[in-house]
Amino acid sequence: MTEAVIFDIDGTLVDSVDLHARAWQEAFARFGKRIPYERVRYQIGKGGDQLMPVFLSEQELEQFGEELEKYRGELFKREYLPRVEAFPKVRELFERIRRDGKRIALASSAKGDEIETYKKIAGIGGLVEEEASKDDAERSKPHPDIFEAALERLGDPPAERVIVVGDTPYDAEAAGKAELRTIGFLCGGFPEDDLRAAGCIRIYRDAADLLSRYDESPIAA
């Protein structure tokens, strides 16, 4: 029986993947790195510690990586965060899960203060029991650190009684390393084949789709 559900946020609960990609692309350009948008977008879901090495050499990381990541964070909060919107039926899905007697945690590569903003945007205040952010992990997704931190905060329930919900292959990969099963959402824009290949056991369009088929989902099983 499922005891707890751990949700990713970006691209899963809120429509922010494109905005994050634009912010990263703009930040790279600010430091002289012209990178095609689609290449950047496919890396969204990773934290900066895992995303930047895809595009920067070790020398570049040492030279301006920290400054670039700081610039990107400030740019996103200033220019892009105000444009983030929640996907439909997120609060209703959380309410359904809580009525079912299950606990909810968040696990995101975002920083803690960003998670608080996302909770307000998604309207899920009071429904989330625990959360783990980039601040709680040495390494971001696709490493399992953030999910392991969320599990610890939930009191370390058996992995087979926990379901992860995410929108990227990196969510499924990180969850798998923590021996957790993952439900994949397509609303983040990642191909269904990629989500399945990364280990997702079931695919839904978004929170509204999962809610409409909740009784037959792995969460209710």
pLDDT in tens, 112-128: 888 999 999 999 999 99
Q: Is the pLDDT of residue 109 over 90?
A: no
User: Considering the entire predicted model, what is its pTM?
Assistant: 0.96
* Same domain flag for 194 and 89: yes
* Same domain flag for 90 and 150: yes
Choosing from 83, 118, 134, the residue where a domain stops is 83
* Same domain flag for 76 and 114: no
Distance CA 29, CA 36 (A): 10
pLDDT value at residue 183: 98
pLDDT in tens, 11-59: 999 999 999 999 999 999 999 999 999 999 999 999 999 999 999 999 9
E strands, 8-77, where?
Answer: 14-15
Query: Residue 164, by phi and psi: left (phi above 0), alpha (psi -120 to 50) or beta?
Result: beta
* Same domain flag for 145 and 210: yes
* Same domain flag for 129 and 170: yes
Comparing C-alpha atoms, which of 20, 22, 198 is closest to residue 109?
20
Distance CA 196, CA 107 (A): 20
